[in-house]
Amino acid sequence: MLRHACCLFTVVMVAAAAEPPSAEGTIDSETFLYDQKGGILHYQGNVQLRYPGAFDLDCADLEIRLQSGGSKLDRIIASTNVVMTMVQAPTTNAANLLLKPGATNRAYAALAVYNGTNNTVTLTGSPQFGQPWVEAAEGSFKADVITFDRANDRFMGTGNFRMIVKPGALPKG
């Protein structure tokens, strides 16, 4: 595996985590291509992105697209057997039942796309993979499309939505 350390890597991690982690991050893959003119970083084969204590991403293919000028993130596209592990940052949303601050949450998808323009992450499945789903200590949910609006701290499930809430997860009263 090749270990890649790029100055642009920091941009990716800021997009992935609510606050930049204090630990060093890494991306490992079988191959790597940086198209400086096109502003594309492309990792293929057993891609493992690690930011200890904040965010892990595993997939077969990861493409990072920068906006023209190369200073801002346009999109991050992770595909094929995508597994994201996140440590939930503190939130001001008291109604956030499934994603408690400090909890480890895991998302599974065939395709995960981060859009830098509107600060959203969209998870989709495929006929072979099935629906994307999110697991947390308090329960899980799945839908045909799951969108996380990072700017507004909101999740949305569209199409065949199902949520499983574990006993004790809901507030009493």
Number of domains in the chain: 1
How many angstroms from the chain centroid is the CA of residue 90?
17
CATH code where residue 85 lies: 2.60.450.10
DSSP secondary-structure letter at 35?
Answer: E
Looking at the domain assignment, is residue 170 inside a domain? Answer: no
Q: State which residues form the domain around 116.
A: 2-165
pLDDT higher at 32 or 52: 32
Taking only Cα atoms into account, the Rg of the chain, rounded to an integer number of angstroms, comes to: 16
Looking at the domain assignment, is residue 71 inside a domain? Answer: yes
Full-model pTM = 0.79
Query: What are 131-166's pLDDT values in tens digits?
Result: 999 998 888 999 999 999 988 988 899 999 999 998
